[in-house]
Structure 1
Amino acid sequence: MTRQTAKVVPFKRPLVASIECRDNLEYMRSLPKESMHLVVTSPPYNIGKKYEKRTSRETYIEEQAATIAEAVRLLHPNGSICWQVGNHVDDGEIFPLDIILYGIFKNHGLKLRNRIVWTFGHGLHCQKRFSGRHETILWFTKEDEYTFNLDPVRIPSKYPNKKHFKGPNRGKISSNPLGKNPTDIWDIPNVKANHVEKTLHPCQFPVGLIERLILALTNPGDSVLDPYLGVGSSAIAALKNGRHAYGCDVMREYVDIALDRIEQLHAGSLRVRPMNQPVYDPQGPFTDET
């Protein structure tokens, strides 16, 4: 299989963009132990998409366990793993993958810091159950000492001019001037037909979703790995914010798109949706969602 070797991308600082068309276990085993500060990915859901081969749930869990084991081996002691998943669907019954996979991470001694709910407004309409409009991100760490930077990902306060009404600070602004904690429920549009980031990938990560994780859970110059790279949104988010990007995918066409997007990022021509841009409200003033 053709491979794309690591290269230095001349952004504000020299950055590595190691992007390969390669089996993820083979690629991950080539990387040094504890070299990744963040492993962030969205694995296939075993529902028969173009980029996956549908298997039994038992086989799927075994394959996930092998990838997770390598992710743990590669994780820096102060680093994080973020596994973004939805549901496996079989004959109309749903199987929540975050619940199914949680025990695998715990068996490695990892600690769950947040179960982040990612909610979005668009998707398939169901006929015999409520239409699904959320997925989850399991954020794990190895140790109790881990990187967490809240200030870069704060969002605007709902009441920025709210003041203390009693005590020694009475009359002073009570909210943080940088904004508030975005909480563990994230309303970020998914990448559908009219989204500025849309490529041919059917289940593409929005860059802003990964950007929030990268800014909060890593520092400039850290290394970020996505073992199911797809069209490279995690690599874009990493490089855009001064982190090294590592990733692989078995689909040549996706890897080619990822590399092209990285070149566009370097050239300053890549269009991405701003991380904290409000969601378009059709009842309010016009704001371009995409």
Structure 2
Amino acid sequence: MIQKEFNESNKLTLFNGDCSKLLKTIPSNSVDLIITSPPYCIGKAYEDPSDDIETFKKQHEDIFVDLYRVLKTGGSICWQVGYHVSDQCVIPLDYIVYDIFTSKSAGFENPLILRNRIIWTFGHGLNSTKRFSGRHEIILWFTKGEQSVFNLDDVRVPQKYPGKKSYKGPNKGNLSGNPLGKNPSDVWDIPNVKAMHVEKTDHPCQFPVAIPQRLIRALTAPNGLILDPFMGSGTTGVAAYIENRRFVGAEILKKYYDIAIDRLEETVCGNIKIREDKPVAEPNTNTAVAKLPDEFAKARGKIL
């Protein structure tokens, strides 16, 4: 099931090596969605101690042309980054990614277009003593030209007051919100993978399955091809397989590549443990306005 060399018919391809080598083997205009979280060059265990902000820039400049080449016209790139932190200052890495991805794509027939700058917020993390503690990171969603897919109904989240109705105007007495749920907006409150999180592995900077899972549902069709050039512990691959998409990913360090292999094998066997993509705080179902009306039940197909 899990292949080491890329072929478009593969369900899962995991490559142990530099992503630039993997990218050369992927045909042009074949990938539906690229999702990743690259190294921030801030001295993590998997980074070279000499890496700095210039290293981060060069890494992105070196692979951008191939990222653009393999992505289908109308396809999406979702790049999740935080901050390069030093004793002197913090540098927002999304600014750097945006500059590289948009300036270098300017001469192409279908330039990259930024569709959303999504804020991923989480309640827990390292506590700072000389600045406010960081509790968010950024996901930049680009499309190659005009977007081809956006499945909003597949990623709607519960209404805060699901039974609320309009009290005046032409829609008086009718439901004021979509019975399938609301647009999740560009601020996502999803717990990060720390301590006792059910998805935790030995990778120090692991993002939750819910992030790529939501993006895959919204931005691709079943059997689409998902690429993660910095796959780490294989989180994007787990999400892709669960959502019936094909996956190809690269990880340069054998330690984390082996973790990704183990997690994908567990996923294929149906034994993987993940936190479902659900609100941190559920809507209050005890209030009168939140009682589920017949209209909502019918929309969800829960009554005859």
Partner SS, residue 112 of structure 1: strand
SS of 2:244's partner is coil
Q: Deviations over 1:78-100 (max 9, x none)?
A: 11000100001122410110012
Task: Decide which of 186, 195, 203 is 1:184's aligned counterpart.
Answer: 186
Per the alignment, do residues 175 and 272 of structure 1 end up closer, same or farther by CA in structure 2, a change over 3 Å counting? same
Give the equivalent residue in structure 1 for 2:20. 25
The total of aligned residue pairs comes to: 274
* Structure 1 runs of 4+ with >4 Å offset: none
**Secondary structure of residue in 1 paired with 2:267:** helix
Aligned-residue offset at 1:278: 2.4
Letter in 2 for 1:257: I
Deviations 1:225-255 (A, max 9, x none): 0000001000000110010011010111211
Q: CA deviation at 1:147?
A: 1.1
CA RMSD of the aligned region, Å? 1.9
Question: How many angstroms apart in 1 are the aligned matches of 2:260 and 2:83?
Answer: 25
Query: Would you say 1:270 and 2:272 are equivalent positions?
Result: yes
Q: Distance in 1 between matches of 2:96 and 2:190?
A: 25
Distance 1:262 1:189 in 2: 22
C-alpha contact (below 8 Å) 2:157/2:279 kept by paired residues: no
* Alignment deviations for residues 10-38 of structure 1 (CA, whole Å, 9 cap, x no partner): xxxx8610001010100111100111100
* Kept in 2: contact 1:6–1:18 (CA 8 A): yes
Of structures 1 and 2, the larger Rg is shown by 2
State the TM-score, normalized to the length of structure 2.
Answer: 0.86
Relative distance call for 1:246 and 1:178 in structure 2 (3 A) is same
1:35 aligns with 2:37: no
Q: List gaps (5 residues or longer) in structure 2.
A: 106-110, 283-304
Q: In the superposition, relative to structure 1, how do residues 15 and 165 fare at CA in structure 2: closer, same or farther (>3 Å)?
A: farther
Indicate whether 1:59 and 2:55 are aligned. Answer: yes
Q: 1:6 touches 1:16 (CA, 8 Å); kept in 2?
A: no
Give the 3 Å change call, closer, same or farther, for CA 279–170 of structure 1 in structure 2.
closer
Partner residue in 2 for 1:4? 4
Shift, 1:145, TM fit: 3.5
The answer on whether the counterparts of 1:207 and 1:273 sit within 8 Å (CA) in structure 2 is yes
Distance 1:92 1:276 in 2: 37
Superposed counterparts of 1:196-235, under 5 Å: 196-235=198-237
Letter in 2 for 1:18: T
